[in-house]
A = this chain, B = another copy of it.
Amino acid sequence: MAGLEVAAIIAVGSELLTPSRRDTNSAWLTSRLNELGVEVRSRTIAPDDLLDLAAAVRGALGRVDLLILTGGLGPTADDLTREVVAGVVGRPLVQDDRVLEGIRERFARRGVEMPAVNLKQALVPAGAVVLPNGAGTAPGLWIEVGAQTLVLLPGPPRELEPMFEALVAPRIAARTGGRRLRRRVVSVTGLSESQVEQIAQPIYGPLAGGPQPITTSILATPGRIELHLSAWGSDVDAIDRTLEAAVLELGTAIGPAVFSTDDSRLEQVIAAELSRQKLQLAVAESCTGGLLMGRLTDVPGSSAWLLGGLVAYDNRIKIEALGVTDALIAAHGAVSEPVAQAMAAGVRTRFGADLAVAITGIAGPTGGTPDKPVGTVVIAIDAAVPVVRTLRFAGTRPIVRELAVAAALEMLRRSVCPGARGPAAG
């Protein structure tokens, strides 16, 4: 019996190749396979077409131990998975009398005679193990061909998921040899992807070829860079130690720009620190219009450290609700360091908070001037050590808003987390 280490998933169905339908089975199966110690090396969506599907099956079988196909096991003319798999692996389809009896009984229980089209659901590639389906007429199939295993499962998640848990997972677990995937994430903010790469590559590069190889991938989203480290092995404790050493080394090299090594988000790190120090925060937003508050209040229990916030979209609100003076706005403009500082101070005082953050800026698409183009954002923190920064972001309105929120969170982190005040803070 060959070990199952590397898998591919093919989701079958032309409807999954239209913009309005989404294949959710593949992500679910990936997660379960990883937990069982099987790595997923490719995921494909193939149409209900004999030749396209055959090409996808042949392609996947070229490179994996385990191929899971979902969908295309129904009774209609465009359900072709059974036929294509039998053809590709060279097994004749034979009628399975117990499967046929099961389908007949299912219809009989509903007081209906089995339609003739359902006959084909009782056809099984010779030598396949039938996986009974408790929630539908399409049985699953487990087919071993030389060193490779093919598993066919019905498409509806409420049929697929219980069948996988009861009939497929135990069979896979018995064949993996105890190999497991362990993962760690190093999250960085305030540096670009290339800056992180330049610092990190000399560390993770050699780890890929070490005695316990670690695979690293870099993921960049607006305002955040993540280093994903993963390693396979059967000695889970040893892998975890190796990963921990790598995480420590990367953390030391990258420095205070690392904000978490346990997959925590920036707002969770800030939340934990504010709770620990028993500090209460208030927020004043202009161009980000509530998005910063929305991110902060995503954290369960945020009412413990977040008093509230004010979205001052109109200058009138800045003046009346935040106590920013008319004269200050007239002298410096609504998007300026003095106004951002006055907004932060105003919301802190009025809400009785320990510290406050304020954002004012021009998210676009209009409203820019030569002096202050679209993308200009000023962020102020009113705390024991006040900070104010003028930033300029490139991109569309949603991007500018997202980058402004990320920058405000990063300034907040550096303001409240003692270890985070590195040179990059300036």
Which A residues fall within an 8 A CB radius of B? 13-15, 17-22, 27-28, 30-31, 34, 40-49, 51-52, 55-56, 58-59, 62-63, 74-78, 115, 117-118, 135, 137, 156, 158, 183, 193-195, 197-198, 201, 205, 215-220, 222, 226, 228, 230, 280, 283, 285, 288-294, 296-298, 300-303, 306-314, 316-317, 320-321, 350-352, 364-366, 394-399, 401
The 10 A-B residue pairs whose C-beta atoms are closest, nearest first, are: A289-B297, A290-B293, A290-B290, A19-B31, A59-B59, A308-B317, A290-B294, A309-B311, A43-B45, A308-B313
A125 to B83, CA, bound (A): 40
Cα–Cα, bound, A115→B195 (Å): 8
Question: Which chain B residues lie closer than 8 Å to A294 at the CB level?
Answer: 288-291, 293-294
Residue of A44, A193, A316 contacting most chain B CB atoms (<10 Å): A44
Q: With the chains together, A14 CA to B228 CA distance in Å?
A: 10
Q: How far is the CA of A27 from the CA of B201 in the complex (A)?
A: 31
State whether A313 and B302 are in contact (beta carbons under 8 Å apart), knowing that A20-B228, A117-B194, A219-B21 are contacts in the complex. Answer: yes
Greatest chain B CB density within 10 A among A220, A317, A397 is at: A317
Alpha-carbon gap, A422 to B196, bound state (A) = 56
Known: A41-B49, A43-B45. Is A307-B317 also a contact (CB below 8 A)? Answer: yes
Residue from B19, B49, B59, B300 within 8 A of A27 (CB atoms): B19
Q: How far is the CA of A297 from the CA of B290 in the complex (A)?
A: 8
Of A13, A27, A320, most B-chain CB atoms within 10 Å: A27
Instruction: Specify which chain B residues have a CB less than 8 angstroms from the CB of A280 in the assembled complex.
Output: 314
| Chain B residues whose CB sits within 8 angstroms of the CB of A42 once the complex forms | 17, 44-47, 52, 56
Considering only CB atoms, which chain B residue lies closest to A118 in the complex?
B194
Among B22, B228, B303, B320, point to the contact of A350 (Cβ < 8 A): B320
CB-based contact B316/A21 at 8 Å: no
